[in-house]
Amino acid sequence: MPTLPMLDKNVNNSPHVVLLGAGASVAACLQGDKNGRKLPVMDNLIEILGLQEILDRVGLPCKSENFEELYDDLVSNKEYRSIAKDIEERICHYFSEIEIPEEPTVYDYLILALRKKDLIASFNWDPLLLQAYRRNIQIQRLPQVVFLHGNVGMGMCYEDKRIGYLNTLCEKCMRPLGPAKLLYPIKHKDYSSDLLMRDQWNRLRNHLRTGYWFTIFGYSVPLSDVDARELMLEAWKPNPTRELAQIEIIDIKSGPELKKSWDEFIVGQHYGICEDFLGSYLYQHPRRSCEAFAAANLMVNPWKENKFPEARTLSELQNWIQPLLEEEVKYEKYKDPFRYMTS
C-alpha cells in the first residue's frame, strides 16, 4: 500500500520538486536576456557562444552540433585538453554576463509558486534563477534551490565548507566566496568527489524520496548523463508516496517522446504534459500544488483554481501572493487550516 501524503488541516507537507534544464532558461528569456543575449541549449551552444572559432584555431572539424558530444570528445583526447580549457573559459564568461530582464520572468513565477518545503534543482549554468531568487528574497518563504552542474552565480569557500552568492563574504573567514566549479558534460560525471556537488545532489535526492509532485521543465535527460538519471531514479523509486505522486513535464517536444524518456519515473497514468509554464499546475495553483492535487485526487473534492495574474511588474506579482502567505503564517502560528481556495 502506498503511503498517503502528509495532510494536516488541508496542508500537504510533502515537497514539490522541480527540475530545470536549458529549455527553462530559454523560456525565461524568450527575447534574450536584459541586454538581448540569447540563452543556448546544448544543440545550439556551439553556435551561440561562437565556439567554432576556438576549434578552427587547431583546425578541428566540429563533428557534432551537440555540445555535449563535442566536449566529451575533446577531453578524452590529450591533444585537445587546452582547447577544452579555452572553451570552459568562454562558457564561464558568457554565462557570467547574463542578466535577468526587468519584467517578471517565468523564474519569478516559479520561485513564488513554491514554498520552503519545496525544491528547485537546476542543471543550468546561467545565473537567471539566482537573480530571480535575490529579487524576491523579501518574501522570505521561498523554496530551496540547488545547482546540479554548478552555477556561475554561486560562490564557495572550500576551506570552511560555506556556499553562497559569488563574492559575498564567507561567514567564517570573512573572505569573499570564490567561484564554484562548473561541471562540464562528460559521459561519466563525478557527482560525489566535489563537496559542493555532493551537497547539492544529496538535497535533491532527499526531496525526491518524499516528493508528491515532480515537475520537469525544459530538461531532457541527455543519453550521455546516465549517472544523473540513475541518481534520481534511485531516490525516486523507494518514495512511499510515489504511486500516488504526479509527474508533470513542461516541454515543447512531442508527448510520446517525452513519455518515453521519463517512463521509468512514471507510475500508471500519473503524469501530465504541457507546452509552457502557463499550462502547468504550478501556474494554476501557486503555492498550493500539492494540496490542490491531493484534494482533487484523494478526497475527490477539487479546489478552486487560483491562477497567477499576468503581471507587468514584480511587485504586482508579489502582492498577489500575499493572501496565500498570510494563510501560511496562520497555519504555522495557530494551526489554522488552509481554506482560501477550498470550495
The least CB distance from residue 194 to Zn ion, in Å, is 17
Distance of CA 284 to the CA centre of its chain: 19
The least CB distance from residue 170 to Zn ion, in Å, is 3
Give the residue from 49, 15, 215, 233 showing the smallest Cα distance to 126.
49
Residues 335, 342 contacting (CB under 8 angstroms) = no
Residues 168, 134 contacting (CB under 8 angstroms) = no
The least CB distance from residue 181 to Zn ion, in Å, is 16
Give the residue from 15, 36, 32 showing the smallest Cα distance to 120.
15
The least CB distance from residue 227 to Zn ion, in Å, is 30
Quote the CA–CA distance of 16 and 328 in Å, as a whole number. 16
The least CB distance from residue 159 to Zn ion, in Å, is 5
Compute the radius of gyration of the chain from its Cα atoms. 21
Quote the CA–CA distance of 98 and 38 in Å, as a whole number. 9
Residues 317, 112 contacting (CB under 8 angstroms) = yes
Q: Which H or E run includes 19?
A: strand 16-20
Q: Which residues pair with 178 in a beta bridge?
A: 156
Site residues for Zn ion per CB under 5 A: 157, 160, 170, 172-173
Residues 267, 243 contacting (CB under 8 angstroms) = yes
Residue nearer to Zn ion on the CB measure, 173 or 233: 173
The least CB distance from residue 173 to Zn ion, in Å, is 3
257 grid coordinates: 517522446
Residue nearer to Zn ion on the CB measure, 173 or 299: 173
